């Protein structure tokens, strides 16, 4: 295991004082800007309808949260919740894009929203409609005038392009489950792809026949992200601590947020769909692990 837990305990737990986050806080986006770590996290109260809360930290570990959620279910797409935020900063456009899953009795819909301040969000458009597709996340740069996003046409991780974040095209499969491995059943993207000298570093989740969710990693070509350069055989971390092994859903480590700062990779994750943990590693070690095993 390449990732080391920051501590044996979660860095953020449910807050019984607020009904909307009293039961579970888990999968979170984290972006680092101007010396602050901004976190948008999925939260559930007793009715298990998810909203998205906000917290901020100067050290990436001790977070202060807002009392009110920043995104709550709004329309017919979202009656059962807004889930699993992944936030990408588009430096050229000076705006943040949140990819989140809208959930309703109609099913799941991968959606995009935008913000300039990380607190007020405006919905843009679904990525696809009426399919078993979520775990989508935007790349921080365009390629030949088009946006790129990873997404999860079940059970795979795919890539698609868009001129405007509304219409998506050139869908292709990048990463599939591997028979006999820890990620044999289904795979899905984690936080935003990280630009490195070796390629786009992507962290993903996969699960096996026993429904144990672990994190893995792969590298995409910087110039042509349709090319997978390498994929690590081993996982980066697996459920081990009591709060990762049992909670709302047992045996889950699920990440939707990663940051690189001063050569260190910060991976934020939901443990057993109940609390938020942090694990880190050196960027060089992770790249070496993907490229050379």
For ligand BMA, the binding residues (CB under 6 A) are: 27, 83-84, 213, 249, 252, 254, 270, 273
CB of 101 vs ligand BMA, minimal distance in Å: 7
d(CA 14, CA 221): 39
Whether the Cβ atoms of residue 37 and residue 286 lie closer than 8 Å to each other: no
CB of 84 vs ligand BMA, minimal distance in Å: 5
DSSP-based helix, strand, coil % in the chain, nearest 5 = 5, 50, 45
Judged by beta carbon, residue 168 or residue 213, the one nearer ligand BMA is 213
Burial track 130-158 (b if 16+ CB lie within 10 A, e otherwise): eeebbbbbbbbbbeeeebbbbbbbebbbb
CB of 273 vs ligand BMA, minimal distance in Å: 5
Instruction: Give me 216's structure tokens.
Output: 């893995």
Judged by beta carbon, residue 219 or residue 272, the one nearer ligand BMA is 272
Judged by beta carbon, residue 152 or residue 219, the one nearer ligand BMA is 152
Judged by beta carbon, residue 157 or residue 252, the one nearer ligand BMA is 252
For the chain, the first-to-last Cα distance in angstroms comes to 11
CB of 5 vs ligand BMA, minimal distance in Å: 18
CB of 20 vs ligand BMA, minimal distance in Å: 17
d(CA 68, CA 60): 21
- Outline where DSSP puts E strands in 23-106: 24-33, 36-44, 50-57, 64-65, 81-90, 95-104
Judged by beta carbon, residue 26 or residue 161, the one nearer ligand BMA is 26
């Amino acid at each position: 295991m390449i990732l080391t837990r920051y501590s044996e305990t979660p860095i953020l737990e449910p807050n019984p004082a607020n009904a909307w986050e009293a039961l579970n806080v888990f999968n979170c986006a984290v972006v680092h800007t101007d010396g602050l770590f901004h976190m948008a996290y999925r939260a559930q109260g007793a009715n298990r309808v998810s909203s998205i809360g906000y917290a901020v930290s100067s050290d990436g570990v001790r977070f202060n949260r807002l009392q009110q959620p920043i995104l709550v279910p709004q329309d017919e797409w979202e009656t059962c919740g807004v889930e699993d935020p992944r936030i990408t900063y588009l430096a050229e456009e000076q705006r943040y894009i949140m990819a989140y899953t809208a959930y309703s009795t109609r099913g799941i819909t991968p959606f995009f929203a935008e913000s300039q301040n990380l607190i007020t969000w405006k919905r843009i458009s679904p990525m696809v409609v009426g399919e078993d597709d979520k775990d989508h996340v935007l790349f921080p740069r365009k390629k030949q005038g088009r946006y790129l996003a990873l997404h999860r046409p079940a059970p795979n991780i795919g890539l698609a392009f868009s001129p405007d974040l509304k219409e998506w095209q050139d869908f292709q499969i990048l990463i599939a489950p591997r028979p006999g491995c820890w990620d044999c059943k289904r795979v899905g993207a984690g936080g935003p792809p990280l630009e490195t000298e070796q390629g786009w570093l992507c962290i993903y989740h996969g699960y096996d026949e026993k429904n144990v969710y672990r994190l893995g990693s792969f590298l995409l070509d910087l110039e042509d992200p349709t090319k997978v350069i390498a994929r690590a055989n081993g996982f980066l971390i697996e459920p081990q601590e009591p709060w990762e092994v049992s909670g709302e859903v047992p045996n889950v480590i699920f990440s939707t947020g990663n940051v690189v700062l001063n050569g260190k990779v910060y991976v934020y994750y939901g443990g057993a769909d109940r609390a938020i943990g942090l694990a880190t590693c050196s960027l060089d070690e992770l790249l070496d692990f993907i490229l050379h095993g």
